[in-house]
Amino acid sequence: MPGSGTTLHTTQVGEAGPLVAFCHGLFGQGKNWTSVARTLAEDGHRCLLVDMPNHGRSPWRENVDYVAMADEVAQLFSADDPVALVGHSMGGKAAMVLALRHPELVERLCVVDMSPVAYDGTVEGGFTPYVSAMRSVDLSALTRRGEADEQMREGVPSATIRGFLLQNLRQDRESGTWGWQMNLDALGDHLGVLGGWPEDALSDLAPYDGPALWVAGAESDYVRAEYAPAMERWFPHVRKVTIKGAGHWVHSEQPEVFTEVLRRFLR
């Protein structure tokens, strides 16, 4: 069920004010950031929720890599209206690459529980069971969403994570057939790329000179002390905040704390 059109699908929250854009993580959608965006809109920000390539209602692409992803997202912005860019996980890497390749578009950068490093199998090991579970669902025989949940239960024991993944399951209104809204095959086949970092493609670029916030979940392994030199190399004006009681999905596990941290960064 690929998205229609040639440009990325976006949803705007808030009518006026400085622009804030959100790049979600792997298997997510822009709408995952709706509650945070509504709070920021009340503060006077104009928020853009982006469905990343191969996700949500955005088009499917054969090429899955961070440079292509960042360049496609960059087309949404203008140097006349620079963006405060927020990215989580996969979206965090894409946001970092975008800021490095197109610094004139990014007024400030917030990276949520992600580092500019290659993770040596962490992403593949963590997400491969999810891919396998989704691929195991018999879409042709599906009559209701609950059946998919039952089929995925063994591979994905967490009901919370199953619910997150199943947000991508859609039923065609006309045919009644079920399908994954994101490009499961392309994403599943490129977990190694998504766990990596395009060091060679960025080697000739200058560090990003704008303000940067590095938000870590205290219970996550995606931000470690040994990753700080890489972050400081690319983002010399970075400030790190660690949120207690949060793992990788910081903004959903500690939404009030995360939102307040982001609000202060945007002031």
Regarding whether 72 and 32 lie in a shared domain, the answer is yes
User: What is the tens place of the pLDDT at every residue in 78-130?
Assistant: 999 999 999 999 999 999 999 999 999 999 999 999 999 999 876 667 899 99
CB 64 within 8 A of CB 196: no
* Token couple for 41: 């809109």
Distance CA(36)–CA(215), nearest Å, equals 15
Residue in 120, 185, 209, 221 annotated catalytic: 185
Q: Give catalytic status of residue 185 as yes or no.
A: yes
What pTM was computed for the model?
Answer: 0.95
User: What is the tens place of the pLDDT at every residue in 217-236?
Assistant: 999 999 999 999 999 999 99
Residue in 113, 248, 251, 252 annotated catalytic: 248
Of 191, 215, 243, the residue at which a domain comes to its end is 191
Q: Give catalytic status of residue 248 as yes or no.
A: yes
Q: Is residue 68 part of a domain?
A: yes
- Predicted confidence at residue 202, as pLDDT, reads 98
Residue 242: CB atoms within 10 A of its CB come to 15
Which residue segment(s) compose the domain that 138 sits in?
122-191
Regarding whether 156 and 69 lie in a shared domain, the answer is no
- For 174, the 3-state DSSP assignment is coil
Q: Give catalytic status of residue 89 as yes or no.
A: yes
Distance CA(109)–CA(85), nearest Å, equals 5
* Mean pLDDT over the full length of the chain: 95
User: What is the tens place of the pLDDT at every residue in 146-164?
Assistant: 999 999 999 999 999 999 9
Regarding whether 107 and 14 lie in a shared domain, the answer is yes
- Predicted confidence at residue 2, as pLDDT, reads 53
Regarding whether 102 and 211 lie in a shared domain, the answer is yes
- Predicted confidence at residue 4, as pLDDT, reads 47
Mean pLDDT of 21-35: 98
- Predicted confidence at residue 199, as pLDDT, reads 97
Give the DSSP letter string of 83-132. Answer: EEEEEETHHHHHHHHHHHH-GGGEEEEEEES--SS--TTHHHHHHHHHHH
- Predicted confidence at residue 124, as pLDDT, reads 65
Regarding whether 79 and 146 lie in a shared domain, the answer is no
- Predicted confidence at residue 121, as pLDDT, reads 76
Residue in 89, 115, 220, 252 annotated catalytic: 89
| pLDDT bracket for residue 212 (50, 70, 90) | very high
- Predicted confidence at residue 122, as pLDDT, reads 67
Segment holding 260, helix H or strand E: helix 255-266
Number of domains within the chain? 2
**Is the model's pLDDT at 18 over the cut of 70?**
yes
Under 8 Å CB-to-CB from 149, ≥6 apart: which residues?
Answer: 162, 163, 166
- Predicted confidence at residue 42, as pLDDT, reads 97
Regarding whether 106 and 24 lie in a shared domain, the answer is yes
CATH number where 206 lies: 3.40.50.1820
Regarding whether 173 and 159 lie in a shared domain, the answer is yes
Regarding whether 212 and 113 lie in a shared domain, the answer is yes
Distance CA(105)–CA(83), nearest Å, equals 6
- For 240, the 3-state DSSP assignment is strand
Mean pLDDT of 168-189: 95
